[in-house]
Amino acid sequence: MTRISWDQYYMAQSHLLALRSTCTRLEVGATIVRDKRIIAGGYNGSIAGGVHCIDEGCYVIDNHCVRTIHAEMNAIIQCAKFGAPTDGAEIYVTHFPCLQCCKAIIQAGIKSVYYALDYKNHPYAVELFEQAGVKVEQVELKETVLRPQ
């Protein structure tokens, strides 16, 4: 039996988290890791106790659903809420982070971003990651990782 790599393990976790998403436009999951330990996970969805896109539809302004909190933000907020430091951590995301999440990732001190799928990769987000010295790498999830052998 061969064990999966750490990258595939954490990316699989992010894809699993995405299954909890309540946004009908895009399901996204994010896993924050520090010292090979998962410290937080998030998916895109509404505020706790709020109306969800799957219930009443997306609330779209300027072609962007404003009802949801993005997966990356939910994971970072979870760290803040429970006192888990993010400085020097890594984040595994199912999709390339949007510009706002990019800035939050940088401000949280996260040093590496691993994403599975390109999604409207904003050139300024790419530039900001470079300026901040954040490593960005595409790590596609291998389908065989989630299938029993």
* Residues taking part in catalysis: 72
99-107 and 71-82 helices cross at what angle (nearest 10)?
30
| Nearest CA among 51, 52, 140 for reference residue 95 | 140
Is 84 exposed, middle or buried, given 0-12, 13-18 or 19+ CB atoms closer than 10 A? middle
CB-based contact 40:105 (threshold 8 Å): no
Q: Are strands 112-117 and 135-138 parallel, antiparallel or unpaired?
A: parallel
The Cα–Cα gap between 7 and 5 comes to: 5
